[in-house]
Amino acid sequence: MGSTEEAREYAAMDHTEANESFVQALLQHGCDRGDLLDIGTGPGDIPLLLVQKTKDAEVTAIDLSDEMLKIARLKVAHAGHSLRIRLMHADAKGLPFADRHFDGVFSNTILHHVSDPVAYFRDARRVLRDGGALVIRDLVRPAKEAEVDALVDRYAASATAYARGLFRASLIAAYTIDEVRDFMAQSGLADASVEMTSDRHMTIWIDRR
């Protein structure tokens, strides 16, 4: 989502229910305090929700899209959370942080945009401190075209045609759970759990210990 149009269309879509459920997953698995990393923050909605619900979380939020970061910076500044949310331009496949740097790492619906999932998982694990929490959620590719159509109709019925196209493309580009398990095994995340957690999402997690 590198273009201005894509960023604006994505940011304008109503992700309220999905974002709230993801933040609840962060709270559930202990990814809610300390120095946290958000990989692929997009318009910054997840870190904003998280810091509003917690007192002890500071988030470094990265994205590869300058257009998304422009939107996120405006939202963070308007909400008055610039001291707790640090926005950075960075690549999920080559994170510019030291090993075991973060108390928690999270990422919401970015995996299907990443060209090298194994590198993405490996780097997410590399920067996570021992005993830290990790929560990654992404879309799951439907088995049939009719299932894609049904999900688009269910969750993007009121969106623009362009936004519906973005959602459809994301569903088609997403991975299956079996494919993700293979990526995890190759990248040192074999100890993480992964489950289908909605009719269109999977969640990967390591609880804080």
Instruction: Specify the residue for token string 């993801």.
Output: 22
Per-residue confidence (pLDDT) for residue 14, from 0 to 100: 67
Distance CA 91, CA 111 (A): 12
Distance CA 92, CA 120 (A): 6
Per-residue confidence (pLDDT) for residue 173, from 0 to 100: 97
Per-residue confidence (pLDDT) for residue 85, from 0 to 100: 98
Amino acid found at 3: S
Task: Determine contact, residues 155/186, Cβ cutoff 8 Å.
Answer: no
CA 107 to chain centre: 3
Report the DSSP beta bridge partners of residue 138. Answer: 202
Average pLDDT, 10 consecutive residues per value, the chain (209 residues):
66 80 97 98 96 96 95 96 97 96 97 95 97 98 97 92 92 97 95 96 97
Q: Name the CA radius of gyration of the chain, rounded.
A: 16
